[in-house]
Structure 1
Amino acid sequence: MPRLQETQLHCLADRRYYEAPARLRDEATRYPLDRAEPPDGWVRAGAGLWTSLIPAGVVPPEQGWKIHVSTVPAGAGRTLEITARLCREHRVPFKFLRSEQALRLMSDKHMKRSGSGKFLTLYPPDEPSFLRLAEALAVALKGRPGPYILSDLRIGSAPVFVRYGAFRALWCRDEHGATVPALRHPDGRLVPDTRDVVFRLPAWVKVPAELRPHLAARAAARDDGFPYTVERALQFSNAGGIYLARHRETGRRVVLREARPHSGLDRAGDDAVTRLHREHRALTRLAGLDCVPAVHGVRRVWEHHFLVEEYIEGTTLLEELVTRYAMVHGDRSPAELAAYGAWVAGVTERLRRALDAIHARGLRFGDLHPSNVMVRPDGSLVLVDFEYATDLDDPATPLAGAPGMQAPAGTPGAAADRYALRALWLHLLIPLTEMAHHDRDKARTLERWARARFGLGPDAGPPRPALPGPGSTDEGGTGEATVARLFGGPVPDWAGLRRGLLAGIRAGATPERTDRLFPGDPAGFGSGGVCAAHGAAGVLHALRRTGAEVAPEWVEWLSGAALRRDPARPGGLYDGLPGAALVLDALGRRATARELLDRALAAPPAPSADLLTGRAGTALAALRLATSASSASTTSPSVSATAAAGGAAARPGATRPDPALLEYALRTARELDALVRGDRPAGLTAPASAGLLRGLSGVALLHLELLAHTGESWLLDAAGAALRRDAAHCAPGPGGTVQVRDGRRHLLYLDQGSGGFALVAREYLAHRPDAELAGLLPGVRRGCGLEFVREPGLVTGRAGLLAAAHALDAPDAGAPQAGAPRPDVLASARNLAWHLVADGDRLLVPGAGLLRFSADLATGAAGVLLSLHTLAAAPGAYGPGELLRLLTLG
């Protein structure tokens, strides 16, 4: 859920690319205080969607008691006026959401619950100032509406809330190695500043006596004899939770759907409580239908409303899809495909009958998607989540719906449900209907493939809705025709794909900005747009290694942005300065590269061992720079399309290995080997799973590269031990594949999965035979050729599996060179047509989640470009070793 919320936040400002929330086009709804000249003696600043006002010369402390004020959009202007006046009187710095549009968006049901309702944040300099201002606000704002802030303690009956937390941006690592906001412990250590949905205090902080009555009131309000005991939470959102509960007296199991007042706003401005009571009315009208849960009433507990519904035993249709989907399970024989197609037809028919029954009672459902359908053990279906169920002719209540399943605005109720039904049918056959959200013609492409693959006749599926929609015609638009041509021949048009991807990457470049150079995954904003995974370093690496032009201003941008990055948070190979250093070194910026790496080495070492963010990646960067043939020049030549693919511009003056960097890499390798063998070096943790970037396979790669440079035999033993630890995570999968088992998931990918593991294992086997490791490789190779892959990217998608499959097809050392890509690799490459969207001469690639396009290395166009480059290269050019170097910024 946190990842989904972060993604949604970065979808607010742009419909094409993931974008910084601060670039939201909200000028028309900015509050006057955001536009007016700041009061005398005050300074204004902006960050993201927030505007701050600070008394001149005042430096807030690192941490303390902070005050939050919540509001509803209709009363926000007046609440801001009152609060700002009191802050000026008390000379307390504060920040506020800058516009009504920003307030509505941050109150959306998909936003983080921990931040829900926060409209203003106040930073009193000490405890006495905090208590005085909190009391003044409680009096001045008494009775004004605002959502309850779950992480805080409420003061009186006003929308005023308090908690102890950080005032400044401090960071530390949590127990999982992730960088998180921090507080300073009295002993000087930085510890995580926990920001969840429960009011809690750091152990060393005492509650002021003035707050104790409010704590007592909170406790008393929560104990009102509610007759249900919650067994577990099923789902959380900004609107409230969904819980499995049991009646204390009867033992009856029920589902409790929680709604928090003024929270979880939708496009119409309705809050969760409004939608809950709409659902109650709909379920009451639909009582007696076996496709609808029985309703047992509405209860209010404290400030929250609960709809009590029948508990439906079974699984969601989404879970059924994941379990059954024929394209990733088994051998995909005609019998298996026919059986799956029959199951889809049966589900779709039962859903059609359910919708007809609802329509017969004068209602539409309004939000049909796989997570809103329950499948009972006997196969019967029940629709759940009737928040948008309203009269068939209701023109005011908006439609809901997942991306690609929502009918166009203005579609009448019954027709909107039929539109969603047809989209859901297609989604069960090929779960990529998000692509129709980008280009409606994609639905036609997907449908043609599904009909052919599952042997469906022209009349299969629910009737076409009487409006433009998925599969409404047999003709695609010009963009889809372009994509079809690129993949239409016996071999994909590699040159045409390259031109389109490069055009798309170049068109997205924004060197005038300081927060990013190329559009990518939302995580790229956290690195200042620098990192290899989601920032400029990865894109420039892909351009250089594919022989494309790297504009000098882009190199300058990366150099400047990397030097601006906080050296206390250097990150690792894929998310920080070490990776940027490797790319800049290859582009001729030797001095800058060394400075960046020195900054990374001076920071406290990462607790993780992996290649992605941890010590193995930093040590690999140190080794690469230690042995680099770069000159000391700090000027960067342009790398033109005439440069040899895979090489940088010629640079004279090769240097001898740097002994300090080489020793650092060796020392780290010894620590990592001790970890693999069961010791626990201080502050170092082993990865929980397996793979090239997130597992110990990356550690093994470090050992093998060090072996090549030093010849120290213990490194080969260490690589084998690391690989055997990763091999223990590998398990037989469907259809004879071998995949990494991670809980209920089975993974093939390069970052976490068997694909990346297999590449390193092949390199190890070139040095030493190992029957256990060798026995896993055929199953991994089989898995890399899967027909269906949900995302197109390099580290967790089709592009990476394509490159891995082709590299694993390379013969062993000493054998004749491999030929062109094998038929299953070419077939998989053609299925990139599902994802690529043509816009004029540009090809755009959807990133993680498929909600927006990305140009980055890990999830977007740069990674696809790099993968296709390996397929189009001369036979034998990219075996496992060459591909590993390509993937790790070599």
Structure 2
Amino acid sequence: MVKKLRGMRDLRHIDKIAYLRPSKRFYEHGYTHYQPGAELISLVRPMLEGRAEPWKVHRSDVWTHILPANRTESNKLPIQGWKIHVSAIAANCRNLLVKVAALALENNIQFKFANDTETLKMMTSKRWSRGGSGKFITLYPPTDEKFREIIEKAYAVLKDDIGSYILSDRRYKDCRCLYYRYGGITSVTKLLYTSEKQPVIFSPDGEQIPDHRTPYFETPPWTSDPFPEEQPDHAEFTLNNGRYLVKEALGFSNTGGVYLSTETASGRQVVIKEARPYIELGEDDMDAVARLVQEEKILRLLGGTGLAPEIYDSFRDWENYYVVEEYFPAPDIRLVMLESSPLVDTRPSIAASEKFYNIYKKAFSSALRGMARIHDQGIVIGDVSPKNILVDRDSMTVRFIDLEGAFRPGIDEPQRLHTPEFRIPSKGRELNSTYDDDTFAIGVIMMYAIFPIAAMQFLREDLFTAVLPRLVADVGWANTPALAIITQLVDNKITCSQAADLLEQSEYTIEQPIKRRPLEGDMPMEISDQMARFITSNYRLDKIFTLFPVDPFGQRDNPSSFGFGATGIIHTLSTCGYDIPLPALERQRNELAALKLEEIPPGFLVGTSGIAWCCLLAGDRETAERLLKQANHSPLTHAHHSLYFGMAGIGMANLAAYLRLKDGRYLDAAVNLAMTLEKQSKENERGVYWEEDGQVWIGFGYGQSGVALFLLRLSQVTGEEKWRAMGKKAVLYDMSWGRELEPGNLTVAANPEDTSTYEHYIEEGSAGIVKVAIRYGLWGSELDGFMGDIDRKYASFAGVIFGLAGFADVLIDAYRYSNDKKYLTMADSSLQGIIDLYLLKFDDGYATPGENLFRITCDYATGVAGVMRTFHRRANPAEDEFCLDELDQLSA
């Protein structure tokens, strides 16, 4: 089963925690910069010496491969088949590797193993994918017959050993470290239009089938389990001999699940936490089970206090350990605060701020007193984060949940589990959590509850002294104790009880939230200049790094792309009139020349058409035509309708090429793409729309609005009114989904079925719809509703496609198309938000954090380049070249 997307933006989400360790400034993949130890390969190398057939060692990512030095037909691996996996723990991995390596070499079986023990621990950690967890060694038998032979021989030498359960596999007999599954052996991938490379296997008739690493055992339809056994009926999922009926999975991680269940005898609803053995190995091989046992002990100590869930039961079922807890049907504190915060409104009132403060005061008074009582019992909570604090909406009392990081200093095994931004920064400090960490965390959460930018503390040490006062003033709380309480908590200058007293007893007055301030005249250009200086000061020539620091999505798939790579950065610098260092240009040119075009999708944001368009604007016709030819003839050219990933964006690039080169082939290509879009379109009373596997997306990046922009420009170039008419119906379709969440304002979700998450941005949301609607001239009350929705000072990120810069970008568009300066005033509010919240000032220039706020990115879509371009456009309201605004000038 593949998880259903809430929005297409989810496709570019990558867990950024894995990109934090190598650099304090930029996202860099941790393992790429890791140097594995030699403790495992040193065991295998001597075994390779003096063999009749030579073997070689090859390291790739987390794996050390052992394979024949001379590839022949006799030792060639199949594309797919049955694989054998061996799991292990740190204590036995060396012994298992020696035994398995000897078996493999004696039988001429190729294999791979985790590079070192730290890598093994990483692959059994909580954040590792459940479908890939635990696979310490993989053996590649060349045939089904050899598979049966080798797995039985492996059983003979491993039957008494242990390792973590491999969720994607079937266990062989009763051996707790030996598993098998059917899947790809020789790596074969299928390029997707998003730029991701998806592993595939082949059906007997040659069809490519995704090789999903699911966290459960499954076989493709054309084969079956070679060692079938009767499986239990899973019509109902029960635990502890039927005592508990599992109703719903509340969450999963590699360590186990959390289940909403019913106690069958009483009908009582409970929460059951699961722990898998030999997962999340820490100091002294303490695993997830040991941690859950310790959490249970802590919860029992807190029993009857109302501060944490009550414990009803604990048991072992099969090999896993379970704790049954009280079910507390309440939202976490982040949701309660987000629902009430006036900073998410475009026109917040004193009354809204007053209401929010009362909610805030009650909830945090309860949280502070609760933490103080837990500390009084000699317990460090350890992992304190907003999602671990639940709030009863009626009483505003809180409970702390997920106490897996809790311990009693001097009594229990110390824990180091924590959420990065809610712990005192670790430089030069002890690794174990402390009472001070808890106090710091609750202070940070109090700031996070006003607006969630806590992660930015890794980039700016003045977060609590410079940014926090602005947050407090903007929410209207300058004359409350909030600022003093938070700053003293994060500095550990007051206790939680003292903080609660201040919060409850201090007099206060509420002021008008978010008082607009005009930008100083030269400020936008100064910021643009300083951002250009930052970008050009931080290019890299070492091949282990991308040319510029970019979002992990760009690092993984295409570091040369327009949206997330070097091409967009260099283009933006050039468009804004800044010089690009020659070494950076040279590396970029070399990388473009070396691109393997068959490995790059055609789309505008991530693929060849976007790069081609930038090359065209830079005057590099040869490269532009080479890349655009690939975009027009890729197997993925017609894979998606959208502007960012599909035909609309490719069509726009072709129109740009036609306008500059006057080559009719590009206009023909654009028309052909439009005709395909026309054939694939559907229409109802709302307008024209496109589906992807039955799913409709809304907005500029992936929905109808982006397609409408292409159709408008095609109509202007060809003179055919039908394209404009079709495009107008498309943008009206998106507009029809507008919902009034705030009086007078309209916003949309990423898809029509979503009724809980609404977006405001260019990529998904109101801003992208406005960007196209104004180019169609659809001024009026409905457009005013969407326009009002983007009149914001606050957004989660600074970037242009999903952040504050995007609001300003669209409002500058609105000014250009209306000549009404009120839109520049509105844009200034968003730009002031960037200045107050996100502008980072360094000796080498100004920057903004990328998405998730942990580190800086320089790319166009999420980083400094896009923000720089927006400040530059505010100083010089130029055309948006990627909307082909030149056509509007031509038709004026």
Band of TM-score, shorter chain: 0.7 to 0.9
- 1:102-141 aligned within 5 A: 102-141=119-158
Q: CA offset at residue 282 of structure 1?
A: 0.3
CA 776–43 in structure 1, closer or farther in 2 if over 3 Å, else same: farther
- 1:788-807 aligned within 5 A: 788-807=794-813
Q: CA offset at residue 333 of structure 1?
A: 0.8
For residue 575 of structure 2, what is the aligned residue in structure 1?
545
- Distance across 2 between alignment mates of 1:871 and 1:269: 57
> Identity across aligned pairs (percent)?
25
CA 122–19 in structure 1, closer or farther in 2 if over 3 Å, else same: farther
Q: CA offset at residue 506 of structure 1?
A: 2.6
| The one of 636, 641, 651 aligned to 1:619 | 651
Normalized against structure 1, the TM-score is what? 0.86
- Distance across 2 between alignment mates of 1:405 and 1:333: 30
CA 692–788 in structure 1, closer or farther in 2 if over 3 Å, else same: same
2:778 corresponds to 1:748: no
Contact 1:819 1:876 in 2 (8 A): no
For residue 347 of structure 1, what is the aligned residue in structure 2?
363
CA 93–675 in structure 1, closer or farther in 2 if over 3 Å, else same: same
Question: What is the SS of the residue equivalent to 1:497?
Answer: helix
CA 811–626 in structure 1, closer or farther in 2 if over 3 Å, else same: closer
| The one of 687, 704, 711 aligned to 1:703 | 711
2:790 corresponds to 1:784: yes
2:110 corresponds to 1:93: yes
Moved more, 826-835 or 345-354: 826-835
Contact 1:794 1:800 in 2 (8 A): yes
For residue 640 of structure 1, what is the aligned residue in structure 2?
none
Q: Which amino acid aligns with 2:767?
A: G
- 1:350-749 aligned within 5 A: 350-378=366-394, 379-392=396-409, 397-408=414-425, 409-410=429-430, 413-453=434-474, 454-457=476-479, 459-460=481-482, 462=485, 465=488, 468=491, 490-491=520-521, 493-513=523-543, 516-562=546-592, 563-567=594-598, 569-605=600-636, 606-628=638-660, 655-657=661-663, 659-678=664-683, 688-742=696-750, 743=754, 744-749=756-761
Q: Which amino acid aligns with 1:849?
A: N
CA 602–92 in structure 1, closer or farther in 2 if over 3 Å, else same: farther
- Distance across 2 between alignment mates of 1:416 and 1:145: 36
For residue 43 of structure 1, what is the aligned residue in structure 2?
56
CA 735–506 in structure 1, closer or farther in 2 if over 3 Å, else same: farther
CA 6–353 in structure 1, closer or farther in 2 if over 3 Å, else same: closer
CA 575–241 in structure 1, closer or farther in 2 if over 3 Å, else same: same
CA 548–92 in structure 1, closer or farther in 2 if over 3 Å, else same: farther
Moved more, 399-408 or 158-167: 399-408
- Distance across 2 between alignment mates of 1:863 and 1:232: 42
Moved more, 674-683 or 410-419: 674-683
- Distance across 1 between alignment mates of 2:317 and 2:102: 35
Question: What is the SS of the residue equivalent to 2:541?
Answer: coil
Q: CA offset at residue 878 of structure 1?
A: 6.2
- Distance across 2 between alignment mates of 1:602 and 1:393: 67
2:247 corresponds to 1:231: yes
- Distance across 2 between alignment mates of 1:885 and 1:686: 34
- Distance across 1 between alignment mates of 2:194 and 2:536: 37
CA 470–197 in structure 1, closer or farther in 2 if over 3 Å, else same: farther
Question: What is the SS of the residue equivalent to 1:162?
Answer: strand
Q: CA offset at residue 567 of structure 1?
A: 0.6
Q: CA offset at residue 858 of structure 1?
A: 1.0
CA 498–221 in structure 1, closer or farther in 2 if over 3 Å, else same: closer
For residue 142 of structure 1, what is the aligned residue in structure 2?
159
CA 123–830 in structure 1, closer or farther in 2 if over 3 Å, else same: same
| The one of 52, 55, 65 aligned to 1:52 | 65
CA 494–268 in structure 1, closer or farther in 2 if over 3 Å, else same: farther
| The one of 11, 15, 18 aligned to 2:27 | 18
Q: CA offset at residue 602 of structure 1?
A: 2.6
CA deviation vs aligned residue, 1:439-481 (integer Å, no higher than 9, x gap):
3321222321133222243633647557747999xxxxxxxxx
Q: Which amino acid aligns with 1:245?
A: S
Q: Which amino acid aligns with 1:455?
A: W
- Distance across 2 between alignment mates of 1:60 and 1:885: 56
Contact 1:293 1:309 in 2 (8 A): yes
- Distance across 1 between alignment mates of 2:41 and 2:313: 44
For residue 639 of structure 1, what is the aligned residue in structure 2?
none
CA deviation vs aligned residue, 1:635-678 (integer Å, no higher than 9, x gap):
xxxxxxxxxxxxxxxxxxxx422x23221211111221333334
Moved over 6 A (4+): 1-5, 173-178, 214-224, 469-472, 679-684, 882-886
Contact 1:260 1:272 in 2 (8 A): yes
| The one of 823, 827, 851 aligned to 2:829 | 827
- Distance across 2 between alignment mates of 1:116 and 1:518: 32
CA 491–352 in structure 1, closer or farther in 2 if over 3 Å, else same: farther
CA 578–455 in structure 1, closer or farther in 2 if over 3 Å, else same: same
CA 174–623 in structure 1, closer or farther in 2 if over 3 Å, else same: closer
CA deviation vs aligned residue, 1:722-767 (integer Å, no higher than 9, x gap):
11221123222325322112411111111111111111111112xx
Moved more, 614-623 or 193-202: 614-623
- 1:168-247 aligned within 5 A: 168-172=186-190, 180-208=198-226, 211-213=227-229, 225-247=241-263
Q: Which amino acid aligns with 1:802?
A: A
Structure 1 unaligned blocks of 5 or more: 473-486, 629-654
Moved more, 787-796 or 117-126: 117-126
Contact 1:174 1:192 in 2 (8 A): no
Question: What is the SS of the residue equivalent to 2:422?
Answer: coil
CA deviation vs aligned residue, 1:803-834 (integer Å, no higher than 9, x gap):
1122223343xxxx555973443232122132
Structure 2 unaligned blocks of 5 or more: 4-9, 496-516
Contact 1:677 1:721 in 2 (8 A): no
**How many aligned positions are there?**
832
Q: Which amino acid aligns with 2:389?
A: V
- Distance across 1 between alignment mates of 2:806 and 2:262: 47
- Distance across 2 between alignment mates of 1:114 and 1:524: 24
Q: CA offset at residue 428 of structure 1?
A: 0.8
For residue 871 of structure 2, what is the aligned residue in structure 1?
868
- Distance across 2 between alignment mates of 1:131 and 1:216: 25
- Distance across 1 between alignment mates of 2:566 and 2:586: 11
Q: CA offset at residue 45 of structure 1?
A: 2.5
- Distance across 2 between alignment mates of 1:468 and 1:884: 55
CA 297–136 in structure 1, closer or farther in 2 if over 3 Å, else same: same
Moved more, 37-46 or 357-366: 37-46
Q: CA offset at residue 271 of structure 1?
A: 2.1
Contact 1:536 1:558 in 2 (8 A): yes
For residue 502 of structure 2, what is the aligned residue in structure 1?
none
Normalized against structure 2, the TM-score is what? 0.86
Q: CA RMSD in A?
A: 3.4
2:312 corresponds to 1:306: no
Q: CA offset at residue 42 of structure 1?
A: 2.0
2:849 corresponds to 1:846: yes
Q: CA offset at residue 877 of structure 1?
A: 5.7
Q: CA offset at residue 286 of structure 1?
A: 0.8
- Distance across 2 between alignment mates of 1:885 and 1:549: 28
CA 492–241 in structure 1, closer or farther in 2 if over 3 Å, else same: farther
- Distance across 2 between alignment mates of 1:232 and 1:794: 38
